Chains A and B, each alone.
Chain A
């Protein structure tokens, strides 16, 4: 069973505030990902990392930034939150099983910007 944690689970914050969404995993996985998911919609990859000091932007453009200073930690930061950032943010990590990597997801952070 994968152990991947996200905090906070729910966040309501005003426009212009700086926020950091935390993601941690205890499996020692090198690869980690951030997805954005609007209600009833598919997941879109916004950031990924293949290891410490490695970060890349995903398929969906995002004003957020990420860092990967430690293997187990992959925080996402919004310098100035806006209502358009309201969404659910899911963190994942992956490991290789057999032929391919399997991604394990955290429970998500539901962000509301007022």
Chain B
């Protein structure tokens, strides 16, 4: 069984400050890990993914995430927040050995960006 825990359901950052969203996973097999962003009244958009290649993954909109196996973590960062980053962010895990890529999602973190 797999699970994802996102620490902090809400994060508030100032424009230009570092954005750090925490994600810890539990998986009995090597995982594939994903970060998605959801803007109000929209579906989810893939930000980036980890698939056992480089441990530091760069995504869209200036986001990146680092896979740390020893900490079972996949935290998402962005050096400088922009007002357009205000959204909800979801971390997800899938079983690398299973076909079809069923995703298990974390509870989400809502990001508020203050001017």
Contact = CB atoms under 8 A, between A and B. Distances in A.
Interface string B74-115: 000000000000000010001010011111111110100000
B42 A108 contact: yes
A100 B107 CA distance: 23
B contact patch SS: loop
A4 to B, nearest CB: 8
Q: Considering residues B44, B53, B99, B108, which has the most beta carbons from chain A within 10 angstroms of its beta carbon? A: B44
Interface residues of A, number: 30
Interface of B: 9, 32, 36, 41-46, 49, 51-53, 90, 94, 96, 99-108, 110
Interface of A: 4, 6, 9, 31, 33, 40-45, 48, 50, 58-59, 90, 92, 94, 98-108, 110
